[in-house]
Chains A and B, each alone.
Chain A
Amino acid sequence: MSFYPQIASGAIAQFPVRRARQWRAIANQMESGEQILLPDADGGQIGWDLRYVDLSDSEATALTNLFASCSGSYAWFTFIDPMANLFGWSEDLTRSDWQTGLLTTSYGANDPLGTQRATTIVNGQPGAQPLIQSVSMPGDYAACLSAWIRSDVGGNITLGRDNIQSVVAAPPAWTRVYLSVPGIAGATESTFSIALQARQSIDIWGLQVEAQPYPSPYKQTAAARGIYDETYFANDDLTVTSTAPGLSSCAAQLISRV
């Protein structure tokens, strides 16, 4: 399986990123002018216009190698939305996307926005218990797990990606914590976790995973989206402009089937 490469900073794209979502519907126009539209859910696609400047030789090579291995628009690869929160159901921990183990969760606690969209998680067990979600992101990708947390009694929680963990404080005031590490090299999936210590209780909100090194503003999600397995180069030509020794710029247009 091929994945669209990240640049050395860990980002997938540089600004500006253009994302064009298209829907398809079968339309019948009546003599009266009335229209009957039949949505065609399988026909949707997203067009991406990605422009890069000051790429190093290795970054440009990674892009051109993918283009060559796909023979232009012939073969597909996996593209990860650079603007998406890749967690499914970021505020509904009862969904099957989440593995809560022996943790108990209750939705409706006060959140940093002053609304009641946070979740209280309680670990009543004598040992640490994790909250887990797996994402089809390659282990080689840089990714950032982030969440807003607080705990009335303080203490620490453990953020994890696969087998890499980081202990962070859970203070009484809302704090955004994050973990930015690569996963297991060669893996096609990454598992993100937030582990509570024994008998610990925290409030949590804004769970987010992004394919970039640092967290962006939180985006609430429903069903998991943002990883597009069937993505093509939109064109059969890819032009790389060498702007100076070791520096290049280029533009890539992609189409993802939704």
Chain B
Amino acid sequence: MASFPTLKTGAVAQYPFDRAVGFQTQAVRFLDGSSQRFRIRAALRKWTLDLDLLDEDELASVVSFFEAQGTAPFAFTDPISGDTAPACVLSANSLIVVMTAEQRAQATVLIEEIA
């Protein structure tokens, strides 16, 4: 399975970046104030990577990775824990990149675990 590309520094992310873990629970609240809760799905993670000051090589590697990947899942390694999430996709099926000057690009990458 394909893995998310690293920047020239060897890192996959820049500070600050967001890591989130999400569950899905349905709660029914009763008249006596108590509640009954149902777990609908287990934990899935999300990452928001705001990549800045990328040169064109780095930007190209990010763009080409997603061009090749499309909506297919890929592996992503959590930059903090080092854990690899084997099945991730680009969130919302979109990737926005901006070139602000020569050798200066930005990309915002939203990655979510799907299984």
Contact = CB atoms under 8 A, between A and B. Distances in A.
B24 A236 contact: yes
Given A74-B25, A236-B25, A243 B32 contact: no
B39 A74 contact: yes
A253 interface: no
A71 B25 contact: yes
Nearest to B38: A74
Contact of B18 (A40, A67, A72, A240): A240
Interface in B33-52: 33-35, 37, 39, 42-43, 46
Majority-rule SS of B interface residues? strand
A44 interface: yes
Given A42-B31, A43-B31, A257-B33, 13 more contacts: A42-B33, A57-B80, A68-B43, A72-B21, A73-B27, A75-B37, A236-B23, A236-B25, A239-B20, A242-B18, A242-B79, A243-B15, A249-B16
B31 to A, nearest CB: 8
Nearest to A246: B80
A71 B35 CA distance: 16
A79 to B, nearest CB: 16
Interface of A: 24, 40, 42-44, 57, 64, 67-68, 71-75, 236-245, 249, 257
A74 B15 contact: no
Contact of B20 (A43, A73, A240): A240
7 closest cross-chain pairs (CB), A and B: A72-B23, A42-B33, A239-B20, A237-B22, A236-B23, A243-B16, A74-B25
B73 to A, nearest CB: 20
A121 to B, nearest CB: 39
A116 B39 CA distance: 54
B22 A236 contact: yes
17 contacts: A43-B33, A44-B33, A57-B80, A71-B39, A72-B22, A72-B43, A73-B25, A73-B37, A74-B23, A236-B25, A238-B20, A238-B21, A238-B22, A241-B18, A242-B80, A243-B15, A257-B34
B21 A68 contact: yes
A71 B42 CA distance: 7
